[in-house]
Structure 1
Amino acid sequence: MNEESNVNHGRSLLIKAILIFPVLWIVLTVFNGVAFWHSTILGVALLLISYLGDLMILPRVGNMTATIGDLALGFIVLWGGLNLLGYSESLGEAFLAGAIISVGEYFFHSWLLKTQYGNTYV
């Protein structure tokens, strides 16, 4: 049986969006002057890319490795995206937002493994 067949993607994406967007809006837009739409576009990109990683990588490598991967992915996507959008001094903002999101990702992964994948050994 395919592990992904039990996953409620709508619920999982909603929870992940609730985790990512407020962090980006607060860290990037409120405190660092990044345009709201730029933060939102980066949030959509990060949401979709990291969710695909959660589906493909999380069940195979476990929570801690996936969380470290999310930290690296979040930093790279945010830093690269901010630079592409013209925010050249964005290293700190990208790392801070990625780190905060990664803390939430650890708990999201635990929930996902328990409720969606049926893994009781999280």
Structure 2
Amino acid sequence: MNHFRLFAVKFIGSLLLLYLILSFGYGVTFGSVFLITLVLSLSYIGDAFLLPRLNNTLGTIGDFVFAFLVIYFMGVGLTTGMEWFTASLIAAIGIGVFEYFFHKYVQNEFDDAHKNERTPNRNLEAQTEASKETHPFNSEYLDVDPEDFDRR
């Protein structure tokens, strides 16, 4: 598993998507889109470490919320005179759709990497021990009459 390659896929995919939405739709400069994408791509750390423990839906929802907040607050800070709520919402929806498929790709990469690891073939199910004896004192092996112990 190559984390640099996965990070590059996320960065380039997010950059292209945000450039199409924010630059062509709202006139945001490439430099602002690049900085927003750089901060958004840092969420790969969460994809690498939290995604194997969570499912794809929770990861996508988390990335959508993170993308909306980052795009909105960075957009307000980097530019002036623009309504950022609608732009952030549309861009975050696009990022959410991208992240859904990116998470599937990351999970496949993790599965392929772990498939090559050698794991011992152990049956970890709990088992019980059974025997033929129904009484703790078996007269076959002891010179004791079990009837003597049953009377109190």
Structure 1 residue 69 corresponds to structure 2 residue 66: no
How far residue 86 of structure 1 moved from its aligned partner, in angstroms, is: 2.9
- Give the percent of matched residue pairs that are identical in Structure 1 and Structure 2: 32
TM-score for both structures, normalised by structure 2: 0.69
2:123 matched to which residue of 1? none
User: What do residues 14-42 of structure 1 show as CA deviations (whole Å, max 9, x unaligned)?
Assistant: 21123200111111111101111001111
2:150 matched to which residue of 1? none
Given candidates 94, 97, 101, the residue that maps to 2:91 is 97
Q: Which has the higher helix share?
A: 1
How far residue 55 of structure 1 moved from its aligned partner, in angstroms, is: 1.7
Given candidates 77, 81, 106, the residue that maps to 2:100 is 106
1:53 matched to which residue of 2? 46
TM-score for both structures, normalised by structure 1: 0.84
Runs of 5+ in structure 2 lacking a partner?
A: 116-152
Higher relative contact order (CA 8 A, sep 6+): 1
> What is the one-letter code of the residue matched to 2:65?
A
> What is the one-letter code of the residue matched to 1:69?
G
Runs of 5+ in structure 1 lacking a partner?
A: 1-6
Q: How many residues align?
A: 113
2:37 matched to which residue of 1? 43
> What is the one-letter code of the residue matched to 1:36?
F
| Contact 1:8–1:116 (Cα < 8 Å) also in 2 | no
User: What do residues 84-111 of structure 1 show as CA deviations (whole Å, max 9, x unaligned)?
Assistant: 1134510111111111111111111111
Please identify the structure whose Cα radius of gyration is greater.
2
